[in-house]
Amino acid sequence: MKEQEFLLEKYNSFNLKDIFDCGQCFRWNIEDDGSYTGVFKRNVINVKMQNNGILFKGICEDNIIPTIIDYFDLERDYELIKSKLSKVDGNMKESIKYGQGIRILNQDLWETIISFIISANNNIPRIKGIIERLSKKYGDKIVYNGKEYYTFPTAEQLKDVSVEEFRELGLGFRDIRLYETTKMVLNKEVDIDNLHNIKDTNIVRDELLKLSGVGPKVADCILLFSTLKRFDVFPIDVWVRRVMNDLYIHKEKEQDVSKKEILKIANDKFGDLEGLAQQYLFYWRRELG
């Protein structure tokens, strides 16, 4: 397959660090020149900021232009979203200033499901390591610029992997969850392709919750970060609980803050953009500690 290029000259709300470090993805890595290289679907792409625009370059299965527009969510008006959210209050305005270049990627649903099951009670370096080993062992190899990259394995490619083999990748207690979820997806106990056709986010969430290893937080991450692209969700992890307590609730112990009260405040304040609001707040708080 030959290399393709796409130079995006006009853009806004686009910053590589903000996009790749805001916690939504695990397979993009920074290069020595400050560009990032990542694998998604069967594509290996390098993204580089230049003075004349953003250069996307790499191995792309289909035409690179629509592929990039779709994956980087380039048709959505983030400037409008940010201006709406900035009006909510000073906190939101501050967090948006910090993460002004965030875009929520349209990541493959299956990959997002597995990745966030792996993320449970885990840390980012280890999550990334597991995903790379999983891809190297069961995905397909793609060579680009003399280096080897691996596609994220499909459910079909994980069909015959045993619980023990999953554990050898360093998955820990998540081994059985990957095993069971792979089976459930393959036998269509949960028909994940059909989820895109369901309008009501709550119904989609209930479907995702049937999967092993998918609880409320992971389900909301999948809804927000995959091609399902629901913004009416508010994934609550330790950072979000912390920032919401500090800004709006002010309890002595953040562990005492209930999920319910966080969700109510989030919905009251941010409405149908609460998913985006969560991402700005999460990134802001986690980066500043």
Partner DNA sequence: ACTCAGGTATTAC
Partner DNA sequence: GTAATACCTGAG
Q: Is residue 219 a contact residue for DNA (CB under 7 A)?
A: yes
Burial label for 122, CB within 10 Å (0-12, 13-18, 19+), is middle
| Residue 216 engages DNA in binding (rule: CB under 7 A) | yes
Choosing from 13, 91, 119, 278, the residue that interacts with DNA (CB under 7 A) is 119
Closer CB to DNA, residue 8 or residue 204? 204
> What SS3 state is found at 53?
strand
Q: Specify whether the CB–CB gap between 267 and 274 falls below 8 A.
A: yes
Q: Name the one residue in this structure whose structure tokens are 């002010």.
A: 250
Binding segment for DNA (CB under 7 A), chosen from 96-104, 158-166, 208-216, 270-278, is 208-216
Spatial strand order of the sheet with 53-59 comes to 3-8, 53-59, 43-50, 36-40, 28-30
Q: Which of 4, 106, 9 lies closest to 63, judged by CA?
A: 4
113 closest CA partner among 35, 28, 177: 177
Tell me if 23 contacts DNA by CB under 7 A: yes
The reply to whether 27 sits near DNA by the rule CB under 7 A is no
Identify the bridge partners of residue 46 per DSSP, sorted by sequence position. Answer: 37, 57
Query: Applying CB under 7 A, does 161 fall inside the site for DNA?
Result: no
Least gap, CB of 83 to DNA (angstroms): 26
Shortest reach from residue 115's CB to DNA, in Å: 9
Token pair recorded at residue 240: 């979000």
- Least gap, CB of 234 to DNA (angstroms): 13
The catalytic residues are 217
Q: Which of 137, 170, 229, 261 binds DNA (CB under 7 A)?
A: 170
122 contacts DNA (rule: CB under 7 A) = yes
Binding flag, residue 239, DNA (CB under 7 A): yes
Q: Is 178 helix (H, G, I), strand (E, B) or coil?
A: helix
- In the complex, the residues that contact DNA under the rule CB under 7 A are 23-24, 26, 116, 119-126, 167, 170-174, 177, 211-219, 221, 237-239, 286
